[in-house]
Amino acid sequence: MHSDYGGVVPELAAREHLRNLLPVTRTALTEAQVEAGQIDAVAATQGPGLPGALIVGFKAGQAMAFALHARFVGIHHHEAHLYSPWIAADPPQAGFSQFEPNVSLIVSGGHTMLVHVESLLKHHVLGSTVDDAAGECFDKAGKLLGLPYPAGPAIDRLAEQGNSRAYDFPRPMINESHDDFSFSGLKTSIRYFLRDHPSLLDDRKAVSDRSASVQTAIVDVLVTKTIRAAKRLRVGCITASGGVTCNRALREQLADACAREQIHLRLADKSLCTNNTAMISILTKQKFTTGFKDDYSDHEILPN
């Protein structure tokens, strides 16, 4: 639906959320063989995200909890991503008995950050993007290369046939000691490169080489800064989640780097990398298990 526009259109997203929410809810209850009256808690993503899409799910969750006399909880979706690598995906269930302190990379279309997770439900942000997120850079670079939206998966496919060292695109902030990211400069570099070499747009082999080179530049930054943070904090485990974690090169290079440094790696299952309700509900259950008492019945969405 959004591909014709080259990106997510907030109003269309909100309308589709509204159109699909009740049928999906009914399907979930049917497949789980659960009656609505058996539910004692309802959770919904409170943010961050697109306001229109968030408000549909959040207000529907509050209304459902009110009607069922159930507790209602708003969940920060980055916090849920932190714990998705500890979920067994089929069927989704928590594997927190295996939990160990870690540095977590959350990387998606809207967010790129490193988080130090000291223990279950105790964590703090080490750094985040100061401009474009990695997934946003993938999509904008792909648009410049003439690829369809979303461009991240297309770049990943093309990169398999390309030479990742064909073009030397910059790796912003890769040598900085802090844990922040920046990808706007890489995007600008690609734009100027294509402006100065317009004939390459029609060269099919060059498209694969450029895709591989762009992907490698982004992945190099993500892997280097993640490994550096884990070593500095003397943490023996790294986790990764978010939509960009589906990227083949990122998964492979993180695995290779962790093996070299003898760091344990846990990657979210691909089915749980993008935003999903399994991670929201499993985190909610964990919060209740540890005595969570907050009441979100009258809270509002927090898009930022």
Give yes or no: residues 61 and 210 share one domain. no
pLDDT, residue 197, reads 86
Token duo for residue 268: 């979210």
Give yes or no: residues 72 and 200 share one domain. no
CATH assignment at residue 171: 3.30.420.40
pLDDT, residue 281, reads 93
Give yes or no: residues 236 and 129 share one domain. yes
Give yes or no: residues 108 and 23 share one domain. no
DSSP H or E run through 187: helix 184-196
Give yes or no: residues 143 and 268 share one domain. yes
| Binned average pLDDT, 10 residues per bin, the chain of 304 residues | 85 95 95 94 94 95 95 95 92 90 94 96 96 92 88 92 92 95 92 87 83 96 98 98 96 98 97 93 92 89 93
Q: For residue 91, say if its preceding peptide bond is cis, omega within 30 degrees of 0.
A: yes
Q: How many helices (H) and strands (E) does the chain have?
A: 9, 9
pLDDT, residue 90, reads 83
Q: What is the total count of domains within the chain?
A: 2
What residue numbers bound the domain in which 52 lies? 9-82+274-289
Provide the pairing of β-strand 41-47 with 122-128.
unpaired
Give yes or no: residues 252 and 111 share one domain. yes
Helix (H/G/I), strand (E/B), else coil: 83: helix
Sign of CA dihedral 40, 46, 52, 55: positive
Give yes or no: residues 109 and 203 share one domain. yes
DSSP H or E run through 219: helix 204-232
298, part of any domain: no
120, part of any domain: yes
Q: Are 155 and 142 in contact (CB under 8 A)?
A: yes
pLDDT, residue 206, reads 86
The widest CA-to-CA distance across the chain, in whole angstroms, is: 64
pLDDT, residue 219, reads 97
Give yes or no: residues 170 and 75 share one domain. no
**What separation in angstroms does the CA of 138 have from each of 66, 88, 247, 289?**
41, 28, 11, 39
